[in-house]
Amino acid sequence: MHDFSGKIALITGAGKKNGIGFGIAQRLAADGAHVVISDVCRDIGVKDYAKIGCWEDLEALAKEINGSAVRLDVTDTASIEKAASLIREKFSHLDFLVNNAGAGPSPNLLQYMDLEMWKKTMDINLNGTLLVTRAMLPLMTRPGAAIVNTASRAGKRPRAFGGAYCVAKAAVIMLTKVFAIEAGMNGIRVNAICPGQIDTDLERWSFDLQARAFQKTIEEVVEEEKQTIPLKRLGLPEDVADIVAFLLSDDARYITGQAVNVDGGQLLEI
């Protein structure tokens, strides 16, 4: 456990109870931080896995961790600026930022992928990380401020049908490194995490696509995927949350610009 008493943390994409974002929120709150969870609070135009829920759902999740909720669409600069203003008014500063919002709408071969879906994938995963970071950096004025971006194993190892997502997450890794240099001038550390297959709604949706494509059951797909993981299990949101808490903590005070794998050994590389 870390002592985050008095720290203010913002986590984007934290509106699903069994998602990585809310898992991180629970861990940081348990460590004493006041956590502001945010999400778009509406259907972003793809399948059920991406339907975040309404504002009341987000508020209820915030209450579970004695935190706060803010509506934030990472693709909308007005929404981002409004969230930054609310945080400034309520807390005057921000200590931790976790850019977790992400999605891979309409996977397809790059040759046939709808260009609007390509743009949406970039807007949510890459541009959203950039825009939120730009808006929140002026609030990160206290010693120990740190940022963690959610990239992905897909940003290091490409796969067919997920090309747009792979490219976006690879770019998030480079964005992290550039911000590590630039924000480092003000003592702000910036790192990324690269989760592998974490047992969330998003991952189950991916398994469902594979199952239908190859005429298998989801259980068969999951078991096959487990066999590609040296630890022989899917990850859990808390596995990711523990690493995020470490990277935000003073225990990681000399670590910045890194993209840390949280994948049970699938990549077997740095």
Residues assigned a catalytic role: 165
Please list, in sequence order, all residues whose beta carbon lies within 8 angstroms of the beta carbon of residue 111, skipping any fewer than 6 positions away: none
Q: Where are the beta strands (DSSP E) in the chain?
A: 8-11, 34-39, 68-71, 96-99, 146-150, 189-195, 259-262
Q: What is the DSSP string of 111-136?
A: TT--HHHHHHHHIIIIIHHHHHHHHH
For tokens 């940022």, what's the residue? 147
- Interior angle at CA 17, CA 15 and CA 23, nearest 5: 95
Pick from 35, 44, 40: which is nearest to 15 by CA?
40
How is residue 23 annotated by DSSP? H
C-alpha–C-alpha distance, residues 77 and 161, integer Å? 29
Cα dihedral 145/127/57/91 (nearest 10): 30
Maximum distance among all Cα pairs of the chain, rounded to whole angstroms:
54
The number of C-alpha atoms within 13 Å of 259 and in the hemisphere containing its C-beta is 24
Dihedrals phi, psi of 223, to nearest 5 degrees: -65, -40
105's enclosing H/E stretch is none
